[in-house]
Structure 1
Amino acid sequence: MNELIGSLTILIGAFFLFSAGIGLLRMPDVFTRIQAGTKASTLGNILVLAGLGIYHPDWSLKLLIIAFFVLMTNPLSSHALSRAAHAIRTPMAAATIVDALGDENDRAGKEGSA
């Protein structure tokens, strides 16, 4: 029974990893690609690691450490990449309505010059 549950969890995780890859191909700009890749791949990795933990219970501590590392580094690295892309003025998709970071930087620049 553990093998079946572990295998299904790994399969669901693989689906999310696949959807992250599709998102990287389908999204219109760098910022949405980063977001699609990060969210889906983080969930996919965690599910694959959980499935492996169910399938091989003696690996659980190592897998938990890896899952913690993934949960800490994926969002942090995507945030850093997004900030760097915004700082070098990487163009956004035409459908983008709000540039919250640009608005924040504009307010900070106005307050600093006043």
Structure 2
Amino acid sequence: MIVDIISATLLLLGSLMAFTASIGLLRFPDTLSRMHAATKPQTFGLLLVLIGAMIRLGDNVDVGMLVLSCLFALITAPVVAHRIGRLAYQEQRARDGLMDRDDMESPNRD
């Protein structure tokens, strides 16, 4: 009984996090803000949903696949966010005043 309550709570919280991420994708004004909404709460929501499913499944053989899905999400989300952020920077699609200095510029080696 308590396992079902914990599992349902994690599933609902994960779904809520993914829902707020989708709202952020629609509402945020620029690429970097949308990138943040697409990676952080969405990944955390997915992890909560998968952990809730793992708890519900118990000792089922499918738990291993859910663990692999968690690891895949944790490994790929930062890489994708970095590539999107770098592309937005290179194409200068960031909102004016968002960055104070050029952090991507290579240092002068004189």
Q: Give TM-score, length-normalised by structure 2.
A: 0.87
Q: Which amino acid aligns with 2:12?
A: L
- Alignment-mate amino acid for residue 95 of structure 2: A
**Residue 45 in 1 paired to residue 46 in 2?**
yes
Listed as ranges, the gaps of 5+ residues in structure 2 are none
Unaligned residue ranges in structure 1 (runs of 5+) = none
- Listed one character per residue, the Cα deviations across residues 7-63 of structure 1 (whole Å, up to 9, x for unaligned) are 110000000000101111121100110012100001000000000001112122111
1:77 matched to 2:56? The reply is: no
Alpha-carbon separation, structure 2, partners of 1:16 and 1:25: 15
Aligned positions of 1:1-114 closer than 5 A: 1=1, 2-57=3-58, 58=60, 59-90=62-93, 92-94=94-96, 96=98, 98-99=99-100, 102-105=102-105, 108=106, 111-112=108-109, 114=110
Tell me: CA distance 1:69–1:83, structure 2 relative to 1, closer, same or farther (3 Å).
same
Runs (4+) off by over 4 Å: none
| Structure 1 position 95, deviation (Å) | 5.2
Over the residues paired in the alignment, what is the CA RMSD in angstroms? 1.7
- Structure 2 letter corresponding to 1:17: A
The percentage of counterpart residues that share the same residue type is: 32
TM norm structure 1 = 0.84
